[in-house]
Amino acid sequence: MIDLDQTFVHQTPTHSHTIKWTRLGSPDSPPVVFIHGTPWSCIEWQTLAASLTSRYCVYLYDHPGFGKSPAPQRISDLNNDSNTMVDLDPSLVLRAEASAALFRKWDFSEPPAVFAHDNGGLVSLRLLLHHNIQFASLCLIDVVALSRTEDIPFFKLVAGNEQVFSAIPPHLIEGFVHSYIKTAAFKPLAPEDEEALCKPWLSTGSQGPKRFLQEMVQAHYRDVSDVEKEYGRAGKLVPIKVVWGKDDFWIPATTAGKLATALGAEEVVLIEEAGHLIQYDQPSRLAVEVSLWLEKNKA
């Protein structure tokens, strides 16, 4: 298990974000950053990251409210009752702002190669297009980045019945967590992997079942319209590769081509017998695609 032994705090006029992170490999090696999505943490990258440390300086972090990083805290306004205020970040603007601050804190000697999964893809595109963070290259792996054309039933169910779900005993919500995460993989997850992915959202975990439900509600209200209209600039700023599990139950593989066209990506790769969690379904094949991409775009 990789230890996130560093802490970064970013404050805005409204929120305080604490991010746990770490760096692996020699600081003199080319930088590589992995960005996780929902409901994951950087644990999804640990095997792949460890394999690169002899040649690259690898950066891993947990978004605020995921894995080892505590949830964002609202800086109370004296004119408002903070107990009645619901903080949703459906466009991931706040998450991207915190990530941008972290990237600047790292002060890379050269632009990093960035790999993003799930809605980490949306965060990475905001970093590139709205925060002017320079990348050496960008690889998007089964990402959430396009406007949704239909509601995902589970998101809609939770968002429409939030009070009902909030009243369900935590141990029953934990059953939802396990069932939901299992559907992300094409192959059965190893028991230890399933447990590690679910652990933050359990009653004894760092986030808990209530935070899991909040993320489901937020996912239902996702809005990418402000940044999606700028996707045409992305491929002109940085080389982009799109990798997708051909058997992704969460986001159909047909999305890969649509996203690649919108971004002006150089490559699109579909991986057989892989679902949304390619890192677990096809780790060796993904490692090959990552290595080829890094080699192709090395300085």
pLDDT digits 0-9 by tens, 64-84: 999 999 999 888 643 455 443
> The tokens of 224 are what?
């990418």
> Are 133 and 35 a contacting pair, CB within 8 Å?
no
* Interacting residues of 100 by C-beta distance below 8 A, sequence separation 6+: 126, 127, 131, 133
Q: Mapping DSSP to helix (H, G, I), strand (E, B) and coil, where does residue 145 land?
A: coil
pLDDT of residue 157: 74
Dihedral, CA of residue 166, residue 171, residue 176 and residue 182, to nearest 10: 150
Predicted local distance difference test score (pLDDT) of residue 158: 74
pLDDT given at position 83: 42
**With 60 as the cut, is the pLDDT of residue 174 above it?**
yes
pLDDT at res. 9:
97
SS3 of the chain: helix, strand, coil, percent, to 5: 40, 20, 40
For the chain, give the mean pLDDT: 91
What does residue 46 show for φ and ψ, rounded to 5 degrees?
-60, -40
Task: Give tens-digit pLDDT for 2-54.
Answer: 899 999 999 998 889 999 999 999 999 999 999 999 999 999 999 999 999 99
Which range (141-150, 254-263, 277-286) has the least confidence? 141-150
Question: How high is the pLDDT of residue 165?
Answer: 75
Residue 93: its H or E element: helix 93-106
Confidence tier at 214 by pLDDT (50, 70, 90): confident
